[in-house]
Amino acid sequence: MIDDLKNEMKLEFISKAKNEAFARITVAAFVSQLDPTIEELADIKTAVSEAVTNCIIHGYEDKQGIVKIVGRLKENEIILEISDKGKGIENIDIAKEPLYTTRPNLERSGMGFTIMESFMDHIEIESIVGLGTKITMSKKIKPKIETEEEDFQMMTKD
């Protein structure tokens, strides 16, 4: 498995809201090795933001814990595991429904999983009540040649 990896990183931080930006920027710097487009980078940063925010707000609620991110770069893909050792999710299918939230008192929209699914190619959620949650998500980065050809075709369309 390590043979097909281009690179790997591990990051752990306390579940404080101010660390969400730190996580997003760190993952963006890491994935920059694959030379993503601005749009691909924005998608990844948004998905990371949603996953980390879920760990902080829902996983640990009103207490602190550790959020862990493992990032792996393969040929043209980033694979991210974002996990907590918080309270876990009782019913993943219900939690994935748009606008569902366990914290209606907060100004959150309940769209975290929907956003992650929209911006990443693949997302998998594993959770055990009382032990925590792990979200694994991946996104393929288009090679620059493909991107440049698509841009050229868009510019030359009538």
Q: Tell me which residues are annotated as active site.
A: 50, 54, 108
Q: What are phi and psi of 132, to 5 degrees?
A: 130, -175
Please list, residue by residue across 20-58, b when 16 or more beta carbons sit within 10 angstroms of its beta carbon and e when fewer do. beebbebbeebbeebebeeebbebbbbbbbbbbbbbbbb
Whole-number Å distance between alpha carbons of 99 and 121: 21
**Single-letter residue type at 131:** L
* Cα three-residue angle 31-8-149, rounded to 5 degrees: 35
Pair 67, 80: CB distance under 8 Å: no
Q: What is the enclosing helix (H) or strand (E) of 27?
A: helix 19-31
